[in-house]
Structure formats: C-alpha cells, structure tokens
C-alpha cells in the first residue's frame, strides 16, 4: 500500500484565482493520477502525471486549465487555474499498486 499526503485539505477561493494542490507519496511511483469529484457526483480522471514527461489529459480537460507538475517520483502538483464556481469539487490524487488505486484524502475546493 502507499501513504499519500495531499494538501490543502480544503480551501475557499475567489473566482479568477488559481490554486495549487500538492500530493506527496511515501514511495517512488511511475504514474500518479488526478481525479475530480463534483458535488454529489462520481470521480472523473483528469490526467495521468508521468515523471519526466508531459501529463496525459483525458477528454474534456486541458493543460491550460489544469497544469500538472511531476518533478520527481514521489511528488506532483495540480493547479486549478482561473477558477469559476463550476470548479468547486473534491480533487484527489492517487497512485496504483498492482491493479488497485490508493487515494489521498482529497482537497475540497469551493469557488465563490
């Protein structure tokens, strides 16, 4: 299993600003995954962060809106840029172990 530390745990932000979410894993992993969970909804994969290369984004998500960094094998950041109220969600990072995913505790973002 992996221990994943994610911060901040929650934030309230103003429209038009940006927030960077950090994710630290206690072991080296090749891929890290960022998911979004909109209020009362399920989880949707935003992108896969690979160390040493550009992140791979899923349909409907773009780098300008959700830039991702992956400077090493234990750390990644997701930035939510130029936020609007529609970005209010829980953002979760995850890593795989075998076929299972382990998740951080999530960042609950509210945009006013």
Partner 1 sequence: SQQGEEDPQALSIQEGENATMNCSYKTSINNLQWYRQNSGRGLVHLILIRSNEREKHSGRLRVTLDTSKKSSSLLITASRAADTASYFCAAHAGGTSYGKLTFGQGTILTVHP
Applying CB under 8 A, the residues found at the interface with partner 1 are 4, 6, 31, 33, 37, 41-45, 48, 58, 90, 92, 94, 96, 99-106, 108
Gap between the terminal Cα atoms of the chain: 36
| Backbone φ, ψ for residue 85 (5° rounding) | -55, -25
CB of 110 to partner 1, least distance (A): 12
Based on CB atoms, which residue is closest to partner 1, 16 or 53?
53
Nearer to partner 1, 67 or 96 (CB): 96
Q: Which is nearer to partner 1, 13 or 101 (CB)?
A: 101
Q: In whole angstroms, give the CA distance from residue 23 to residue 15.
A: 23
Q: State which residue, 44 or 82, has the beta carbon closest to partner 1.
A: 44
For residue 75, CA distances in Å to 9, 28, 38, 91 come to 16, 9, 24, 16
What's the min distance (Å) between Cβ of 16 and partner 1? 25
The whole-angstrom separation of Cα 69 and Cα 51 is 9
The least CB distance from residue 48 to partner 1, in Å, is: 6
């Amino acid at each position: 299993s992996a221990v994943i530390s994610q911060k901040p745990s929650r934030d309230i932000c103003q429209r038009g600003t940006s927030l960077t979410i950090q994710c630290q894993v206690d072991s080296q992993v090749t891929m890290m995954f960022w998911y979004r969970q909109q209020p009362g909804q399920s989880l949707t994969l935003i992108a896969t962060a690979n160390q040493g290369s550009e992140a791979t984004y899923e349909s409907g998500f773009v780098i300008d809106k959700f830039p991702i960094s992956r400077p090493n094998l234990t750390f990644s950041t997701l930035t939510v840029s130029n936020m609007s109220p529609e970005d209010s969600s829980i953002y979760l990072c995850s890593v795989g172990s075998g076929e299972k995913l382990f998740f951080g505790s999530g960042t609950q973002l509210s945009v006013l």
